[in-house]
Chains A and B, each alone.
Chain A
Amino acid sequence: MIKYILKRLLGMIPVLIGVTILSFAIINLAPGKFSTLDQAMNPKVSPEYQMRLTKAFNLDKPLPVRYLLWLKNSVSFDFGRSFIDNRRIADKIAERIPVTLGINILSLLFVFLVAIPVGIKAATQAGRAFDTVTTYFAFFLLAVPTFWLALLMMQFFCIQLGWLPISGIHSLDFEYFTPWHKIWDVSWHLILPVFVSSVGGLAVISRYMRSSILEALSQPYIYTARAKGLPYRKVVYKHALRNALLPIVTLVGLSIPGLLGGSVIFESIFALPGLGQLFFQAVMSRDIPLIMAEVVLGAVLTITGNLIADISYAYVDPRIRYK
Chain B
Amino acid sequence: MLVVFLFLAVLPARAQDRGDAIVSASIADARNLLPMLASDSASAEVSGMIFNGLVKYDKDLNLVGDLAETWEILDGGLIIVFHLRKNVLWQDGHLFTAHDVEFTYQKMIDPDVRTPYGGDFERVKSLEVIDDYTVKVTYKEPFAPGLASWGMSIIPKHLLEGRDLNTTDFSRKPVGTGPYALKNWKVQEKIELKANGSYFEHRPYIDRTVTRIIPDESTIFLELQTQGIDSAGLTPLQFSRQTDTAFFKKHFRKFRLPGFNYTYMGYNLSNPKFSDKRVRAALDLAVDKREIIDVVLLGFGVISTGPFVPQSWAYNRSVLPAAFDPQKARKLLAEAGWKDANSDGWLEKGGQAFEFTLVTNQGNEQRQKTAEIIQRRLRDIGIRVKIKVVEWSVFLSEYIDRKNFEAILLGWSVSREPDIYDIWYSAKTKQGEFNFIGYRNDEVDKLLIEGRRIFDQAERQKIYHKIHEIIHDDQPYMFLYTLESLSLLHNRFREVKPAPAGIGYNFIDWWVPKAEQKYRIMP
Contact = CB atoms under 8 A, between A and B. Distances in A.
Interface of A: 31-33, 35-47, 49-53, 56, 81, 84-86, 95-96, 151, 154-155, 158-159, 162, 165-170, 172-173, 175-176, 267-271, 273, 277-278, 284-286
A162 to B, nearest CB: 7
A95 B519 CA distance: 28
A28 to B, nearest CB: 12
B422 A43 contact: yes
A33 to B, nearest CB: 4
26 contacts: A31-B394, A32-B398, A33-B397, A37-B392, A38-B40, A39-B116, A40-B392, A40-B396, A43-B434, A46-B118, A47-B431, A49-B115, A51-B432, A84-B31, A85-B31, A86-B114, A155-B222, A166-B228, A168-B212, A169-B189, A172-B212, A268-B215, A269-B216, A270-B219, A273-B213, A285-B393
B103 interface: no
Contact of A32 (B187, B391, B521): B391
Nearest to B435: A43
B114 A166 contact: no
A33 B212 contact: no
Contacts of A36: 31, 39-40
A269 B219 CA distance: 6
Interface string B422-433: 110000001111
B117 interface: yes
Given A35-B396, A154-B219, A167-B219, 16 more contacts: A31-B398, A32-B394, A32-B398, A33-B396, A45-B39, A49-B115, A86-B166, A86-B167, A96-B187, A166-B223, A168-B214, A268-B216, A268-B219, A269-B218, A271-B219, A273-B188
A23 to B, nearest CB: 17
Contacts of B14: none
A263 to B, nearest CB: 12
Nearest to B423: A43
A86 B521 contact: no
A50 B116 CA distance: 8
Q: Give chain B's interface residue range (CB within 8 Å of chain A).
A: 35 or more
The A contact surface, by secondary structure, is: loop
Interface string B185-207: 01111100000000000000000
A71 to B, nearest CB: 23
Contacts of A172: 21, 23, 190, 210, 212, 519
A315 to B, nearest CB: 39
Nearest to B189: A273
B41 interface: yes
Given A32-B391, A86-B166, A39 B39 contact: yes
Contacts of A285: 393
A42 B216 contact: no
A158 B116 contact: no
A193 B21 CA distance: 27
B33 to A, nearest CB: 10
Nearest to A162: B226
Contact of A286 (B39, B215, B222, B393): B393
A33 B222 contact: no
Contacts of A159: 222, 225-226
A151 B222 contact: yes
A39 B228 CA distance: 31
Contact of A170 (B189, B223, B519): B189
B216 A271 contact: yes
B12 interface: no
B120 interface: yes
A47 B393 contact: no
A215 to B, nearest CB: 42
Contacts of A31: 393-394, 397-398
Nearest to B422: A43
Contacts of A42: 39, 116, 413
B184 interface: yes
B112 to A, nearest CB: 9
Contact of B116 (A44, A155, A176, A270): A44
Most-contacted residue by chain A among B114, B171, B218, B393 (CB, 10 A) = B393
B111 interface: yes
Contact of B393 (A86, A151, A168, A284): A284
Nearest to A280: B215
B218 A49 contact: no
A38 B41 contact: yes
Contacts of A38: 39-41
B114 A56 contact: yes
A105 B111 CA distance: 47
Contacts of B398: 31-32
